[in-house]
A and B are shown apart, each in its own frame.
Chain A
Amino acid sequence: MSVLHLVNTSPFETVALIRCLERAGEGDAVLLLENGVYGALSGCGFSAKVAAAAGSLDIVVLEPDLEARGLDRARLLQSLRLVGYSGFVELAVRHPLSLSWT
């Protein structure tokens, strides 16, 4: 059963994103939401790890949380997808399990 991982803390503050990527399996999805959306930025210390993980994981960013924080699509890693709350629900339907990382 695949897992939808939820990461809701900033990678500038916690290591939750990296710890999550280390334990996510091929075909899992990682949703960056709330302060977790900062993990989608390119050109930061963690960006290379996130970009590499995007090869085997579906890494998704919750767009309303991105907009709330004034972050532009152009500043994000190219390989990531954006979704709204309906897309979040679809992710939960597609992946039978879910885990939260703080």
Chain B
Amino acid sequence: MPKRFVFVVRQPPYSGARNAEMLDQILAAAAFDLAVDVLFLDDGVWHLQSGQSPQNAGLRRFAPMLQTLELYDVREIAVEAESLEERALAAEKLILPVRCLARIDIPDWIAGHEIAVSCG
């Protein structure tokens, strides 16, 4: 059976080269035709905030790059419902369609993978 990967993103956007490098790693696994899931937790959910305009801060837009997750065969993009609620974010207003998981269901969901990778 092919191995299922889960990448867990907990760091907010604009964390230096880390954002692009974590995406490279996710897409590398997806390019192998593997079952790849991504879970956004804690401040990682800020990646999904719509309307980010970092140009005036001298930063590059990362959201369009993150949206390529949909084009590659990433199986599931999941967020923790409590992480959204704590930050007054609504799942339907994010830059990507996501599956919302309750905190209590996170351990079982993660346990359904063979490889887990923390992306900060």
A and B touch in the complex (CB under 8 A): yes
Which A residues lie at the B interface, using CB under 8 A? 1-3, 19, 22-26, 28, 96-102
Instruction: Tell me the dominant secondary structure on chain B's binding face.
Output: mixed
Chain B residues, Cβ within 8 Å of A96: 114
Q: With the chains together, A33 CA to B95 CA distance in Å?
A: 36
Chain B residues, Cβ within 8 Å of A2: 111
Q: List 9 A-B contacts (CB under 8 A).
A: A1-B111, A1-B112, A3-B111, A19-B42, A23-B107, A25-B107, A97-B110, A99-B8, A101-B10
Identity of the chain B residue whose Cβ is nearest the Cβ of A2 in the assembled complex? B111
Which B residues lie at the A interface, using CB under 8 A? 8, 10, 41-42, 103, 106-108, 110-116, 118, 120
Contact between chains at A22 and B113 (CB < 8 Å):
no
Q: With the chains together, A102 CA to B10 CA distance in Å?
A: 9
User: Out of B107, B110, B115, B120, which one reaches A102, CB within 8 Å?
Assistant: B120
Chain A residues, Cβ within 8 Å of B118: 99-101
Q: Given that A97-B113, A99-B118 are contacting pairs, would A3 and B107 also be in contact in the complex, using a CB cutoff of 8 Å? A: yes
The listed residue with most A CB atoms (<10 A of its CB), out of B42, B110, B113, is: B110
User: Out of B41, B106, B116, which one reaches A97, CB within 8 Å?
Assistant: B116
The distance from the CB of B89 to the nearest CB of chain A, in whole angstroms, is: 17
Contact between chains at A25 and B111 (CB < 8 Å):
yes
The 10 A-B pairs of least Cβ separation, nearest first, read A25-B107, A100-B118, A97-B116, A23-B106, A1-B111, A99-B118, A99-B116, A19-B42, A99-B8, A22-B103
Contact between chains at A98 and B116 (CB < 8 Å):
yes
Q: With the chains together, A100 CA to B11 CA distance in Å?
A: 12
Contact between chains at A24 and B113 (CB < 8 Å):
no
Q: With the chains together, A85 CA to B81 CA distance in Å?
A: 36
User: Out of A3, A26, A100, A101, which one reaches B110, CB within 8 Å?
Assistant: A3
